[in-house]
Amino acid sequence: MFLRPLILLICVLLMSCTPSSSEKTPKAVLVIHGGAGWISRGSVSDSMEQAYVNTLKESLLKGRALIKSGGSSLDAVQIAIEHLEDSPLFNAGKGSVFTYNETNEMDSAIMDGATGNAGAATGIATIKNPIQVARAVLDHSVHVFLSGAGAEEFALEQGLTQVDSSYFFTQNNFDKLLEAKASMKEVKQDKLGTVGAVALDQNGNLAAGTSTGGMTNKRYGRIGDVPVIGAGTYAENGVCGISATGHGEYFIRYVVAHDIAARIKYANQSIEKASSEVIENLKTNGGLGGVIGLDATGTVVMPFNTKGMFRGYISLDGEPVVALYSDD
C-alpha cells in the first residue's frame, strides 16, 4: 500500500538532485571569439597556444570590468574587440590578412540590442581599430553601412586614429598570401579567423560586434558576412546577441545570426538548440565556421563545425573560461 507513494517520493528526490539543462549551461555577461577553422591540437607551439589563451583572457577581463562598473554592453563589446584587434594573433586589426593586391581591407560591425541601431564598415585600410569605425557609424551617422574611402573619411572626421598601412603588416600573413598565389588559389581558407564579442550588461541590454581582415588573397573588393547585419552580427534585447566567424559567403546566404534570433523569437527554441541547428545546417550545405551568443538570461553558446574555435566567456564574478579546440 505504501509502495506507490514511496516510488513517487524517490522520483521527486532524484529530480531535485539532478541539475536542469539551464543549470548545466554556463551563464555569462561576455562571450568572445577569435576565429574558427584552422586550429587543432598540436598545430601550434605551447608558447603560441599560451599567447592565444592569455590574449583571450585579457579581452574578457577588460570587457567584464566595464560591465561591472555599470558600463553598457555596447562599450564592453567594443573594448573586448579592440583588445583582440591590437594583437597580431587574430585576423582583425593588427593581424589582418592580405588581399590579392597585397593590401589590408578590414570589415566591422556592432549592434545595440536595446534600440536595434547598428553600424558597419567595410574596406577599412588605415584606421587602427576598425570596430571603432562601426561604433562611430552607429553613434554619429544617419546611415548604417559605410564603405572604403567614404568610411575612412567619416572615421577621420570622428577623430579616430589613423595609421600607416605598414602597421598591419605581419610576415606570417604575407607569407600566407604568397603561398596562396603560388598555388593559384583565389582564396586561402585554412584560416577562417575573425574576432567578435557579445555582452549583456547589468541593465539587461544585449550588444554584439564583429571585426575581421577577411580572406587571404581575396579580390575585387570582396565583402564577407561580418559587416552584414543579420549575417555575421545581430543583437536584440529579450532574444539574443550573436557574432559569427567562418566562411562568410555561407553566413550571408543563410543569414545565420538573424536565423538564430528568429528561431528563438518565433519558434520558441532555446538559444542552445537554435544555434546548434543553424551551425549544423551550415555544415550540411558546405559552410564552415561557428558563432558565439548570449540570450537574455546570459546563457552562453559557442557552437562550431570546424577543428577548433578560439572562444571564451566570463561571468560577472567568475574567472575567464577559454577554449581553443573541439575537444576542450
Q: Which residues are catalytic?
A: 194
DSSP 273-302: HHHHHHHHHHHHTT--EEEEEEETT-BEE-
Closest CA to 243 of 255, 259, 266, 226: 226
> Which amino acid is located at 262 in the chain?
A
- Polymer length in residues for the chain: 328
Any idea what DSSP says for residue 207? E
* Residues 262-286 as b or e (16 or more Cβ within 10 Å = b): bbbeeeebbbbebbbebbeebeeee
3-state secondary structure string across 40-92: CCCCCCHHHHHHHHHHHHHHHHHHHHHHHCCCCHHHHHHHHHHHHHCCCCCCC
* Spatial contact of 132 and 233, defined as CB atoms under 8 Å apart: no
Amino acid in position 177: L
Please provide residue 76's backbone torsions phi and psi, each rounded to the nearest 5 degrees. Answer: -65, -45
d(CA 223, CA 21): 38
Q: What separation in angstroms does the CA of 252 have from each of 189, 243, 256, 270?
A: 17, 13, 7, 23
Of the candidates 141, 103, 101, which has an alpha carbon nearest to the alpha carbon of residue 121?
141
In terms of Cα–Cα distance, which of 291, 214, 292, 222 is closest to 254?
Answer: 291
Best CA proximity match to 211, nearest among 104, 103, 101 = 104
**Contact assessment for residue 92 and residue 210, using Cβ atoms and an 8 Å cutoff:** no
